[in-house]
Structure 1
Amino acid sequence: MSTADLKIPPGFQPATMGGDFIGHVGPFYIYHEGDVVLMGFRVEKRHTNPFEICHGGMLASFADMLLPITVHRKSKEVGHRFLPTISLQVDYLAPAALGAWVQGEAQVLRATRSIVFVQGTVTADGAPCMRVSGIFKIGPAFKPPVVEG
């Protein structure tokens, strides 16, 4: 069975965000219902290292999208503002195998007038694989893209 045959969990919709780079490494999916914001992706062959586990750079790229997208969806104070990364801390806890569903959830810890602090956890097929935190500069407002979910 190829990764293309593996299903996306119910409720997740394709997410169009992040520009050309994320378009190349994705696709990412988003689930947003009430206060729950989840992002995920299926580990494809192109995401893996020679040992057929998800490359750390792919996981870091996912984290660098998970955290600000969560801010956009959960923080009315910050809203849809450009959030360039000041700091991204990634702790790798376990591998994410080829075909695994990688899913992340994050919390906005604090937002000031100029920066926002966020943390999250990422799982691979339900097992913790990464702990992430980030600090983002609150930049200019932008028109949000049309995002499903």
Structure 2
Amino acid sequence: MTGGPAIPEGFRPFDIGGDFIRGNGPLYLQHQGDTVKLGFRVEQRHCNPMGNCHGGMMASFCDMLLPVSVHRKSAEVGQRFLPTISLQIDYLAPAPLGVWVEGEGELLRATRSLVFAQGLVRADGVPCARVSGVFKIGPAYESEAAG
């Protein structure tokens, strides 16, 4: 969004997720101590015909939010690919064009083969989505891929 609202302080561009997220982002990361937040500004291309963030964009964001949070909060799975097994999203409120969307995720449990996580997403501070997911602990990958 050229010339649009600024990205909140502490967030930096976050290039992860391959061409799909690169084409649908950009996403931004804030990682300070134990706090990990992922965010994006809702642009016109993210919107449905009602001028709100499309549910598919929100689902893609949530599908990135949980693994990114887990990677930064767990040394055991920090460098492992975490393909999604299931993702449950409750859409709580719209995220209109121009708002800043940010989410925080938390690791609930990691077993030998699975990760269970949940998160909350806010649009300009208003809760707009609640997400939970189960992820397979996949193979290790290069540290630069983990962001």
TM-score with structure 1 setting the length: 0.95
Partner Cα distance (1:49, 1:59) in 2: 11
Report the aligned-residue RMSD: 1.4
Q: Secondary structure at the match of 1:145?
A: helix
- 1:53–1:3 distance in 2 versus 1, CA, 3 Å: farther
1:82 paired to 2:89:
no
Corresponding residue for residue 116 of structure 1:
115
Partner Cα distance (1:144, 1:45) in 2: 33
| CA deviation string 1:49-91 (max 9, x = no partner) | 1111000000000000000001111111112101000000000
Percentage of matched positions with identical amino acids: 65
Q: Which amino acid is the alignment partner of residue 16 of structure 2? A: M
Corresponding residue for residue 56 of structure 2:
57
Residues 3 and 43 of structure 1 are in contact (CA less than 8 Å); yes or no, is this contact kept in structure 2? no
Residues 122 and 128 of structure 1 are in contact (CA less than 8 Å); yes or no, is this contact kept in structure 2? yes
- Higher RCO (C-alpha 8 Å, min separation 6): 1
Residues 118 and 134 of structure 1 are in contact (CA less than 8 Å); yes or no, is this contact kept in structure 2? yes
Query: How far 1:134 moved relative to its partner?
Result: 0.3
Residues 71 and 146 of structure 2 are in contact (CA less than 8 Å); yes or no, is this contact kept in structure 1? no
Corresponding residue for residue 73 of structure 1:
72
Alignment of 1:1-149 (within 5 A): 4-145=3-144
Q: Secondary structure at the match of 1:53?
A: coil
Query: How far 1:3 moved relative to its partner?
Result: 6.8
**Which runs of 5 or more structure 2 residues have no equivalent in the other structure?**
none
Q: Which amino acid is the alignment partner of residue 48 of structure 1? A: C
